[in-house]
Structures are given as C-alpha cells and as structure tokens.
Amino acid sequence: MICLKSVSQKTQTIVATALVAICVVVTGLPVAPAQAQEGMGYWKDSSGQPIRSGFGECVRSGYFAPSMATEQCDPSLAPKKAVATPAPSGSSGVEPKAASLPVVVPTPQSVTYKADSFFDFDRVSLKPEGTAALLQMLEQAKGTNIEEIQVEGHTDAVGSEGYNLKLSVRRAEAVKEFLVKQGVPANVIKTEGFGETQPVANNATGEGRAQNRRVAVELIGSKVLSK
C-alpha cells in the first residue's frame, strides 16, 4: 500500500521532491505571480506555510531572487518596508499597472512505498512493481522542472542496527540508480538511509514492522504557465 504524506518528516523540519506501496498523489499548489504574492520564492505546503529543510531553513525555489525574500524565511535579505509618502503635487498617486507575468506552479509530491513491494526480502534489486511505481511517478511529473528528489530508506528492527542502516542506504541508492537510467540528472537526487531509527509503527508486531519497512520519495519541481 502507498501512503501519502503531505511532506516527509524530513521536509516538515526541512520541497518536493520528495517512494513505496502503490498510490501516487501529485499536489499542484498554484500561486500568484512573484510581484503579486509575498513569499513566492519559497516552496509552500498545502496550508500555505513555507516548507523547511532538516536544518529549519525555508526551501527556496529555483527561481528565487533576493527581492523575493521574506522576514519569516530570510530576515537579513528581506527588503525593509518603505514608509508611505504623500504623492507629489499634480500626481494622481496611482501606480502604473504591472505587466502580466507567467504563473509559476510549484509541484511538490511526497509518496511512501512499502519496501516489500519494491524489493524482495533482504535484497536491493528493484522488483517489477517497484519500477512500475517509479515510472508512474515520472509520468505524472512530465513537463515539470525537477529541482530535487529526496529518497529515504527505512527498515524494521529485525537484525542488527548496523546491518539495517546499510540495507536502507543500498535500497535508496537502488532507487536513485533507476531514476538516473530514466533520464533524471544524478545531481538532483539525494539519498539517505535511516535504518531502523525512524519507525512509524510498533516493531513488536508484524503489521508494525511492515509499516516500518519503507522507501519514501519526495519530488520538488515547478511548471511555468503563461497566463
């Protein structure tokens, strides 16, 4: 079963870049032109709050410019609010209308796959079900400028801590290798293995261990649409 999380645990404390049991949800978060909406230079979650990295920093979009900085995310870069001054005599005080700009649509998506549907027990070679799920994700991301894909490997608590850590890293790398073969630039794919250190369920039960054996993939990208 594939369980969607609005953003991976890493992203909530980190977009979209965030993979694995089988239902892929793509969330498009349309926003207004950069000049019309404050905070346009950062990725935001479905509630409109900036997505943060594992270091607590706001995740900037690929088109970020210092002029888009906000007090919330980059106080040192944010422009100081100007004090309103009276319009010169003879002036209507009406600002000229800004030219219409393209709309940038952020497309973060985060999916978690049951590891057993991607790999056989104690193996790192992708199963047909795994390759099919990854291909489906890439199909849904067509037309998107992929800025980052984060792949996280997790295991249950069966076996030694060291072995599980290595297994989770190898599985994350196997997902990256497949994505690179599909044409995704290797430099935008970040992999990390957490072994058994981040369980989402009780390892004392079979059902809990199955939930902990997972691969999470987060894809972050953007589309530019003409108005």
pLDDT in tens, the chain (227 residues): 333 333 334 433 333 333 333 333 333 333 333 333 556 777 777 677 888 776 677 877 767 777 778 887 877 777 666 555 665 665 565 666 655 556 666 666 777 888 888 988 888 899 999 999 999 989 888 888 888 999 999 999 999 999 999 999 999 999 999 999 999 999 999 999 999 999 999 999 999 998 999 999 998 888 666 55
DSSP string, 87-111: PPTT---PPPPPPP-PEEEE--EEE
Tokens 């995740």 locate to 59
Given phi > 0 = left and psi -120 to 50 = alpha, else beta, which region is 77? alpha
Q: Which domains does the chain have, with CATH numbers?
A: 3-64+102-225 (3.30.1330.60)
What residues contact 194, with CB distance under 8 A and at least 6 apart? 152, 153, 154, 165, 168
Answer yes or no: pTM beyond 0.75: no
Among 35, 72, 29, residue whose Cα is nearest residue 52: 72
Q: How many Å apart are CA 45 and CA 144, to the nearest integer?
A: 18
